[in-house]
Amino acid sequence: MPYSLPEKPIIALGSWLETPVGSYVRAWEQARLAALTSDIFGFNALQIGLPQIDALSANRMPNKWLSDTRMPAVAADGSRPPVVVVHDFTELPFASQSLDLVVLPHVLEFAVEPHQVLREVERVLIPEGQVIICGFNPASMWAARQAVSRLSGSHFLPQHAEFISMPRIKDWMKLLNLGVNRGYFGCYAPPFRREKWLTRFSFMEQAGDRWWPYLGAVYMVQAIKRVKGMRLIGPAWNKRTAQVPQGVPATNKIRRIK
């Protein structure tokens, strides 16, 4: 019997990603995640939730897992995303300091206890391990349309999401000693539902990234776990040069004259 938990219906986001606007978001996030994770090295990586996006496809770690709160439904073509771990997001079934990378695609905004989820992520990450978080930007045109559409009951974005701003995410990370490496915004096209209009305004991706970077519909935050009082020491590649005390002659042999 599938193991299900009392989480917000994040499964609604999976069906929303099949819409034209959802496909637009998924394409941007898939490309950005591939660029970020390809250069992260280690042994163990975990993607939590949203199996519709393969966040670890470009990563080269030998052990990669995908987890969710329930087994995904079978698609129309008979396929099913390969979820390997089913668990509560607030209790990760991994040992402390055992993972090199954790990716959270739109998990915190659907979680009942987002702070606890982030605390668990910090627990399982090794020192200098990395976490990547995806979310909807509440300071965007898409979020504004979502607020207006709630009055009519026709939601533009998944209605059960609790949008969390990037500055707020950074504050949470700071409290957990997760140093933010960099943040990214994307999906600058106006909130259209039809694919032809989204394609017509695709030129706004480059323009928005340059002129109004904080108004993208979605964002991505990459952070590194910092451990206070610890310093990673690498091998001593450089040999020390011999130190000659000052005032000592190069030779001090005593020549005997016979």
pLDDT string in tens for the chain (258-residue length): 344 444 554 556 878 888 999 999 999 999 999 999 999 999 999 999 998 899 999 999 999 999 988 876 666 566 666 778 888 889 999 999 999 999 999 999 989 899 999 999 999 999 999 999 999 999 998 888 888 876 777 788 887 778 999 999 999 999 999 999 889 999 998 888 888 888 888 888 877 777 778 889 999 999 999 987 656 555 544 544 444 344 444 444 444 444
If you ran DSSP here, which 8-state letter would residue 70 be given? Answer: S
Which residue's structure tokens are 């995904």?
72
Q: Torsions phi, psi of 21, nearest 5?
A: -70, -35
pTM greater than the 0.75 cutoff: yes
Domains of the chain: 11-225 (3.40.50.150)
- What is the amino acid identity at position 147? A
**Tokens of residue 31, six digits:** 């490309």
163 alpha carbon, distance to own chain's centre = 16
Closest CA to 131 of 164, 173, 87, 190: 173
